[in-house]
């Protein structure tokens, strides 16, 4: 005899495919949905379908958007001469939350990671180079993650872009705000010293 009725088992199986959801969590969500009203379940199903049907990549910056070009690329108030390069659309949100950056973005959709089979060909670099060759951009800020993959991507980009005469900068790396030097490892401390600035 099966543990669950077929539709419920299928729902649990589908939920288990989501990142961070294991068997137990999938069961909990499935039973929650089973108890929910039909309207509530339909709202969730509609939201998933809408996101899949309506969201596409911006043809200029590769951000996830409903309209093409996206709202960042079409906003005339933003500084058109500075582009911030990030790995993923949610990294873009992190930069945007600072409210200190008013330029444009470019999403690579990954970083150079040989262990995951990601090389330069797999990154969204082609339209970045086309944008830069347009001649309007004077600075490119590389905001890839502060890990081996992000660093390799930043250096790769800098080698590719500097010959175009564009200033390439890298976000600072080092000690996180609120932590203590005592607990910093050598790599983090070294990066903090390398990235020091005059005050």
Partner 1 sequence: MPLRETEALVLRTYRLGEADKIASLFTRQLGRLRAVAAGAQRPKSRYGGMLEPLSYIRLWIFERENRDLLRINSAELLESFFDMQKDYRLQVAAQFVAEVADRFLPEREVNDRAFRLVLAVLRTMKQSGETNRPLVYFDYWLLRLGGFLPDFGHCTSCGRGLADAPVYYAAGFEGLLCEDCRPPQAMLFTARERLARVVERCQATLSHWTGEEESAGDLREVRHFFEELIEAHLERKLVTRPLLDEV
Q: Does 198 bind partner 1 (CB under 8 A)?
A: no
Closest CB to partner 1 among 10 and 162?
162
179 near partner 1, rule: CB under 8 A: yes
Tokens 């960042």, residue located:
72
Q: Which of residues 80-139 bind partner 1 (CB under 8 A)?
A: 112-117, 119-120
- Nearby residues of 164 by Cβ (< 8 Å), 6 or more positions away: 132, 133
Mapped onto helix, strand or coil, the DSSP state of residue 124 is coil
187 counts as binding partner 1 under rule CB under 8 A: yes
List 12, 60, 61, 151, residue binding partner 1 (CB under 8 A): 151
Measured in whole angstroms, how far is the alpha carbon of residue 65 from the centre of its chain? 13
The residues that bridge with 142 in the sheet, in sequence order, are: 85, 170
163 is a site residue for partner 1 (CB under 8 A)? no
Looking at the Cβ atoms of 20 and 134, the one nearer to partner 1 is 20
Q: How many CA atoms lie within 13 A of 77 on its CB side?
A: 3
155 binds partner 1 (CB under 8 A): yes
Cα(10)–Cα(91) distance, integer angstroms = 33
Per CB under 8 A, 195 contacts partner 1: no
For the CB of residue 54, give the shortest distance to partner 1 in the complex, in Å. Answer: 27
| Span interacting with partner 1, options 35-43, 44-52, 68-76, 172-180, rule CB under 8 A | 172-180
The separation between CA 134 and the C-alpha centre of its own chain, rounded to angstroms, equals 24
- The structure tokens listed for 147 are 């890990």
């Amino acid at each position: 005899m099966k543990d669950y009725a077929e539709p419920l088992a299928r729902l649990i199986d589908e939920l288990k495919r989501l990142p961070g959801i294991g068997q137990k969590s999938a069961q909990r969500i499935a039973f929650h949905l089973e108890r929910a009203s039909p309207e509530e379940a339909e709202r969730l199903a509609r939201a998933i379908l809408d996101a899949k049907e309506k969201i596409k990549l911006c043809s200029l910056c590769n951000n996830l958007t409903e309209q093409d070009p996206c709202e960042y690329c079409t906003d005339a108030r933003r500084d058109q001469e500075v582009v911030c390069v990030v790995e993923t659309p949610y990294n873009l949100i992190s930069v945007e939350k600072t409210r200190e950056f008013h330029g444009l973005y470019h999403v690579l959709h990954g970083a150079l990671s040989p262990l995951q089979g990601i090389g330069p060909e797999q990154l969204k670099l082609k339209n970045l180079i086309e944008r830069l060759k347009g001649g309007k951009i004077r600075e490119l800020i590389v905001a890839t993650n502060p890990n081996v993959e992000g660093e390799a991507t930043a250096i790769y980009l800098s080698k590719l872009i500097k010959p175009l005469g564009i200033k390439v900068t890298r976000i600072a790396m080092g000690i996180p705000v609120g932590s203590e030097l005592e607990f910093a490892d050598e790599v983090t401390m070294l990066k903090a010293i390398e990235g020091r600035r005059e005050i």
